[in-house]
Structure 1
Amino acid sequence: MATRITPATNRAASLELIQDFSLEMTGKDIPALAEAKGHIPPGTRINVTFLGNEDLEMRVAAAKAARDLGFVPVPHISARRLKSREQLEEFLGRLQEAGASEHVFVVGGDPATPVGPYEDSLEVIRSGILQQFGVREVGISGYPEDHPDIPKATLWRALEDKTSELTEQGLGAVILTQFAFDTDPVADWIDAVRAKGINAPIRVGTPGPAGVKRLLSFARRFGVGANAMIVKKYGFSLTNLMGDAGPDRFVNDLAAVLAERTHGSQPHSGGRVGLHFYTFGGLLATAEWARDFVSGQG
């Protein structure tokens, strides 16, 4: 039975949705994270990217910095960027030494051709190496608006295979989605995930506040829909690309749609639904936006 949404219940749903949000940083963002520390709740999960222009030292240093600043580091592992099993073991070993190996996010990665033995993230998970270095929970990708280079059926099969494999290995699973501008495809996708019996927590990828042109360039790069109808729902116009845009409307609308579908923050049909912010406009700007949104000053 659908829930009747009033302004008060919508505000409550929005606050539930943003509770325990996570953020993303690169290996170069240690100073930015330190600057934003006072605006980020202690214990917040900070995902640390695995980019081609970063090396092991940068990735480990960023994960350690997140931990030392009072947050929970979630280092990324890019399967197709790994040159060997030994490189994966070295990375995990260094993370374990830094106290930053309990939570990881395993993704296929950008290279069309693997540089080493791992074709995709499932192969890394199936290797059995993760548990050897203290990993307890693994983040995996979700694509509410599909992927420009991967068929939809393949994406669904991969999601089912990965969650099944993690359950078999006794590891926790968290689904982190690509960012989106439109709430309806996200909500439909969550319905479909739960209908398949996948109850892992879902963190919906959400663009932090950033310049409109920058947001659209990232959307095109990742194949995210950015037509006139969608960006209007997000709160900006394709005819006026100046200025910044924040995710206020997206967060409020998504919270309302989920509440109407009786998902809520702790849905009866599955695990929690929360938010993961891609910090295109910077960690400080995103942290300040989240603080103001929660306090009602946004």
Structure 2
Amino acid sequence: MTKSTQTINRAASLDLMKDFSLEMTGKDVPALVQARTLIPAGTRINVTFLGNEDLEMRVAAARSAREMGFVPVPHISARRLKSKQVLQEFLGRLQEFAAVEHVLAVGGDPAHPEGPYNDSLALIRSGLLQEFGVREVGIGGYPEGHPDIPDETLWRALEEKYAALREQGLDTVIFTQFAFDTDPVAEWIEAVRAKGISAPIRVGTPGPAGIKRLLGFARRFGVGANAMIVKKYGFSLTNLVGTAGPDNFVNDLAAVLADHSTGQGPGLRGQVGLHFYTFGGLTETADWARRFMAGQE
């Protein structure tokens, strides 16, 4: 690889890293405090809506992100909402400290809804989001599919949610499930654009973590983790000791996007960025991002 090629690839990686977003749980407020100086001001911080968290934890996490100068993106898990009133209370609390403009609507893990919302589309169609001041809604994307949902159902849901948000005058951003390999991600982005969906896409990327932990999450979410893929990501299935980072994935995806910009790659039109799943390592991920962008990785 020539020096000029390395420079071009480096520039593409930095461009992809611009305006990356991070994910935290309701329990990660101390970690966010610790990492705050490592994270650029204005960074989007997604706040999960897990079954072992309560309203106060979710609200406190979103408030902390806002007070530290970040943009909170609270998740709303449709099937975990026990009533319309619960949703109204959550949105109302977020509205109190201007943390309601950006949300992520997800179906959630429960097999059966605990209240009136069967899925994130029902949540979007409720009309309550814009009533409380939501301007942008994140929705999920699955480049490698979902272990429990047929691909045709995933595509139909994506198109229906995108159309519903446009009808309501709400902006859309797509957050994808994390991946280890750029090939299915690139093919999926091309298919999204072919369907006329022009929303920004934030490609889910695992932050640096223990290899066993990464593979555990991969199995849970149905993400491909065969030997060739994980080798491309930077670790081996035969040696599960140590940690792995997203360097190879970020550089490879950036190269694919750069190829497209010169007419050589697939149809990856539109804005594409990165969303880091921190898997409990918020500070480690923030520090990795800082070092990567400074050329220290």
* TM bracket (short chain): over 0.9
Structure 2: distance between partners of 1:172 and 1:215: 32
Structure 2: distance between partners of 1:171 and 1:281: 31
Paired residues for 1:65-214 under 5 Å: 65-214=64-213
Q: Are 1:59 and 2:80 counterparts?
A: no
Superposition deviation, residue 269 in structure 1: 6.4
Paired residues for 1:9-28 under 5 Å: 9-28=8-27
Structure 2: distance between partners of 1:79 and 1:6: 46
Amino acid at match of 1:61: A
Partner of 1:252: 251
Amino acid at match of 2:42: G
Assess, with a 3 A threshold, how the Cα gap between structure 1 residues 269 and 278 changes in structure 2: closer, same or farther: closer
Structure 2: distance between partners of 1:46 and 1:268: 29
Q: Could you say what secondary structure the match of 1:73 adopts?
A: strand
Q: Are 1:42 and 2:56 counterparts?
A: no
Please give the root-mean-square deviation of Cα atoms over the aligned residues, in Å. Answer: 1.5
Amino acid at match of 2:70: F
- Spell out, residue by residue over 1:147-176, the C-alpha distance to the aligned partner (whole angstroms, 9 max, x if none): 000000010011111111111100000000
Amino acid at match of 2:276: F
Contact 2:209 2:243 in 1 (8 A): yes
Amino acid at match of 1:24: E
Structure 2: distance between partners of 1:18 and 1:26: 22
Structure 2: distance between partners of 1:210 and 1:240: 14
Between Structure 1 and Structure 2, how many residues are aligned? 292
TM-score, normalised by the number of residues in structure 2: 0.96
Structure 1: distance between partners of 2:270 and 2:127: 25
- Spell out, residue by residue over 1:191-234, the C-alpha distance to the aligned partner (whole angstroms, 9 max, x if none): 00011110000000000000000000000000100110110110
Superposition deviation, residue 8 in structure 1: 1.5
Moved over 3 A (4+): 267-270
Partner of 2:222: 223
Contact 1:107 1:140 in 2 (8 A): yes
Superposition deviation, residue 257 in structure 1: 1.3
Amino acid at match of 1:90: E
Contact 1:101 1:134 in 2 (8 A): yes
Amino acid at match of 1:293: F
Contact 1:204 1:276 in 2 (8 A): yes
Structure 1: distance between partners of 2:36 and 2:98: 19
Aligned sequence identity (%):
76
Structure 2: distance between partners of 1:137 and 1:43: 16
Deviates more, 1:279-288 or 1:227-236: 279-288
- Spell out, residue by residue over 1:33-55, the C-alpha distance to the aligned partner (whole angstroms, 9 max, x if none): 01000000000000000000000
Q: Could you say what secondary structure the match of 2:205 adopts?
A: strand
Amino acid at match of 1:182: D
Paired residues for 1:212-291 under 5 Å: 212-262=211-261, 270-291=269-290
Deviates more, 1:88-97 or 1:268-277: 268-277
Structure 2: distance between partners of 1:248 and 1:269: 21
- Spell out, residue by residue over 1:253-295, the C-alpha distance to the aligned partner (whole angstroms, 9 max, x if none): 011012213399xx99643100000002511100000000000
Structure 1: distance between partners of 2:154 and 2:175: 13
Structure 2: distance between partners of 1:145 and 1:268: 18
Uncovered stretches (5+) of structure 1, i.e. residues with no partner: none
Structure 1: distance between partners of 2:87 and 2:270: 30
